[in-house]
Amino acid sequence: MQLYTINTGFFKLDGGAMFGVVPKTIWQNINPPDANNMCSWAMRCLLVEIGNRLIIIDNGIGNKQSEKFFSHYYLHGDDTLEGSLNKVGVNFNDITDVFLTHLHFDHCGGGVIRTYEGQLRPTFPRATYWTNEAHWQWAVQPNAREKASFLSENLLPMQESGQLKMFTLPQKTSDNQLLITSFAEGIEIIAVDGHTEKQMLPLISYKGQKVLFCGDLLPSAGHIPLPYVMAYDVRPLLTLQEKEQVLEHAVTENWVLFFEHDPIHECCTLQRTNKGIRPKDFFQLSALSV
C-alpha cells in the first residue's frame, strides 16, 4: 500500500461557523481571520494505492459552479485535483474508486465535471463512486439546514452514470459503540452522525500504523479540544461524544490523524495532557516510515 496527499486548493469559511461556541478571542489565534471574519481552509484529499486499485478519498470543491457561487468561498492557491494527481503519475482514467466521506460540496464537487457542451458527467470515468444509502437519502432529500451544502449537480450525475454504489454499514447496537467496519484490505470505516448523517471516515493500516482520515469530525488540529465543534454540525452534542470516542481510541492506539481542512498541518499524533487529549507531533504524511 502507498498513500499520497492530494491537495486541491484552499477556500474560505466564516471563522465563527467553523468554531461554533468558541469565542473569536480564542479561535482567532488558531486560524487568523481576514477583515470579513473568513479563515482559509485546505481541501486536502488522499490517494490510496492498494493492489490494482487506486482509491481517492474525497475530491474537493471542483470547478464547475458559477462565478457567483465561488465568490462566497474565495478559492485560492495553486493546487488542483488534476494537477496533484498528475504529480504522482495518476490521471482521472486511472482512478478505480472514489470514496466519499460525505456529500457536502467541498468534499464531492470535484467528482463531477461540466463538459464543453455543458453536460455533467463523472470526473473519473472508470471509477466506482462510494457512499451509503442512509447518507445518500439524507443528501438528495436535504433538511433546510444542510440544503445549501448538497448540490444536485454534484450528486445526480454519479447516479445517472451507473457508477454510484452503496457501501453497507452495520447497525449500531449501542450509543456508546464506535461503528467500525471493513471496506477493503487495510481500510476500515468509522461511521459518525454528528456532522451529518452517516459520515464515513477511513481508518487505514499503513506502514505499521493506523492513519485516520478525519473528514469533518476533526476538520483541523484546532478542533481536537472537545468543545471546538462546528456550527455546521446537525447534531453538535453527538459530534462531541463521537470526538471523545475517536480521540480515546486514537491516543490509546497511537493513530495518526490526517486533516482534510487544516490550512497548515497534514498530520499529527496525540498525547494526554492536563487539559485533555492534545496534538503531540505535527508532520507530513510523506514522513511516515516503517
pLDDT over threshold 70, residue 173:
no
pLDDT digits (tens, 9 = 90+) for 82-109: 999 999 999 999 999 999 999 999 999 9
Confidence (pLDDT) at 166: 97
Comparing CA positions, the residue from 47, 42, 49, 31 lying closest to residue 8 is 42
The overall average pLDDT reported for the chain is 95
Evaluate whether 62 touches 120 at the Cβ level (below 8 Å).
no
Reported pTM: 0.95
CA distances (Å), origin 285, targets 6, 47, 48, 88: 11, 11, 12, 14
Give the residue-averaged pLDDT of 130-159: 96
Q: Rg (Cα) of the chain, in Å, rounded? A: 18
Which domains are delineated in the chain?
2-209 (3.60.15.10)
